[in-house]
Copies of this chain bind each other. A is one copy, B any other.
Amino acid sequence: MLKSLREQVFEANMDLPRHGLVTFTWGNASGFDPASGLFVIKPSGVSYAELSVENLVVCDLDGAVVEGELNPSSDTPTHAALYRSWGERIGGVVHTHSSWAVSWAQAGRAIPCYGTTQADYFYGEVPCMRGLTEEEIEQAYELKTGEVIVEGFADLDPVAVPGALVRNHGPFSWGVDAAAAVYHAVVLEEVAKMAAHTEMISAEAAPAPRYLLDKHYLRKHGPHAYYGQASR
């Protein structure tokens, strides 16, 4: 079932330790199939050495297991919530505890867009979501985590801002597929590091002007993009 998607999601998960984004099992990637309304996700607590195309878990949009013998990632309800809201626009989700992104999430701050590295992929800052209430955490923690992200994007386009920080927790990112979500997870960690160092170097650092962000984002995205190889 969903063999090609399984292979994509397997590769995306294996890319997380390759990029230095996860320690032990502290991360997971999923990929969504809009035709069937199902997504493939990493099983919970399984080491990357044990991970295989076969032991990935298939879930429906309620987060219920449709295929697989292992428990899905404990973050499955979060992934499901994002696909329920944004499944027409995103096809992959990644969660990690990458070091610099977690540090911003723990500090409770959005990452300002200080330069073009961020602007090439994020149309502005990487937002930090509001903290969950005690009731939300006790009732349905992982589900509410996803809903709080969707709530935080009420005025944001998840395609233009492909990631967010969950307060006191860590980063989630997404994209057209699982590989794109991994790519954005790498970008998020890199810009998190550079933004912290930017503020260390100058307490007066200011975000890049809007016209610079426009230029960088739009030269990579949309009908007038000219970065890369259009014909490939």
Contact = CB atoms under 8 A, between A and B. Distances in A.
Copies of this chain assembled into the complex: 4
Interface in A206-232: 206, 208-209, 211-212, 215, 219, 226-230
A43 interface: yes
Contacts of A43: 229
A46 to B, nearest CB: 7
Interface string A94-124: 0001011011111111000011110000000
A142 B197 CA distance: 26
Contacts of A212: 131-132, 137, 168
Contacts of A183: 24
Interface in A11-56: 23-24, 26, 43-46
B198 A228 contact: no
A197 B97 CA distance: 14
Contact of A116 (B71, B169, B205): B169
The contact size tier of chain A is 35 or more
A70 interface: yes
B44 A102 contact: no
Contacts of A26: 117
Given A138-B211, A186-B24, A227-B45, A194 B106 contact: yes
A64 B198 CA distance: 36
30 contacts: A23-B190, A24-B183, A24-B186, A44-B227, A44-B229, A46-B229, A71-B228, A71-B229, A74-B227, A99-B193, A99-B197, A102-B117, A103-B194, A103-B201, A106-B115, A106-B195, A106-B208, A107-B114, A107-B201, A108-B206, A109-B201, A109-B202, A114-B168, A115-B168, A131-B209, A131-B212, A132-B212, A168-B208, A168-B209, A196-B201
